[in-house]
Amino acid sequence: MTQMAHQLPELAIPALRFEGASVVHRGQTLLQPLTLSLDGCRRTLVMGPNGAGKSLLMRLAHGLLLPSAGQVYWEGKPPRQAMVFQRPVLLKRSALDNLTYALAVSGTPWRARKPLAREALARFGLSPLERRPARVLSGGEQQRLALARAWLLNPKVLFLDEPTAALDPASMRAVEAAVVDFHARGTRILMTTHDLNQAKRLADDVVLLHEGRLIEHSDAERFFTTPASPTTRAFIDGDLIW
């Protein structure tokens, strides 16, 4: 994992396309037909009130969910991906074993797993906790462990679904720092949040969803200063009902 390997990686990341992709569940349309193209090695923040369809968009993008109609596809070979959930799903094993497990799954040779896992624990400030059961860690520690796991998978694209929604401010900052580190390593970021300030801090571009509909997709600066849609204006001003 030399720095050289990550030079100009954005050229290698194919674009993700949504073409009329919708999600219908029990006769109810949760996500209206969505057409959207996400490319480049950017940090895209997906925003919107609760129930806007942010998580559905993430799951469609990561392939955890198939669209009821339309298509979601990568323009080229699907890149290596990882996902961090709002409530991290950790195995009933020690912190270290959670990481070696992910390495085993990704085909890392047995001898290399523990050193790599320990390196990742150190990077996320979890070294003293390596033998602790992952499930008894605090919320912030669990989320950092989930990030360490994603780090080890060395993804080209990282999905984060409300990763800081349940965290204290210090843990939130740690997650945001990790997002910056991932991006610096050449990982494309796709992250949902309902925190405007967080979006301002992190976003290269912003996708706004409202009631299952795409409202706007623009560069961060434009999104926050001269939004194209009145709904975006209302959202930024805090006038959209959550």
Which parts of this chain interact with other proteins (CB under 8 A)?
59, 62-64, 81-83, 85, 89, 91-94, 101-102, 105-106, 132-136, 153
Place of tokens 């906790």: 129
Cβ pair 59, 65 in contact under 8 A = yes
Cβ pair 232, 208 in contact under 8 A = yes
Rounded to 5°, angle at Cα 11 from 81 and 216: 70
The answer for residues whose C-beta is within 8 angstroms of residue 207's C-beta and 6 or more apart is: 36, 44, 45, 46, 47, 57, 214, 216, 217
Cβ closest to other proteins, residue 155 vs residue 186: 155
Cβ closest to other proteins, residue 189 vs residue 199: 189
* CA atoms within a 13 Å half-sphere pointing along the CA-CB vector of 236: 21
As measured in angstroms, the least distance from the Cβ of 87 to other proteins is 10
As measured in angstroms, the least distance from the Cβ of 179 to other proteins is 17
Cβ pair 14, 76 in contact under 8 A = yes
Cβ closest to other proteins, residue 40 vs residue 63: 63
As measured in angstroms, the least distance from the Cβ of 58 to other proteins is 10
Cβ closest to other proteins, residue 94 vs residue 127: 94
As measured in angstroms, the least distance from the Cβ of 240 to other proteins is 28
As measured in angstroms, the least distance from the Cβ of 137 to other proteins is 9
R_g (Cα) of the chain, nearest Å: 18
Cβ closest to other proteins, residue 154 vs residue 229: 154
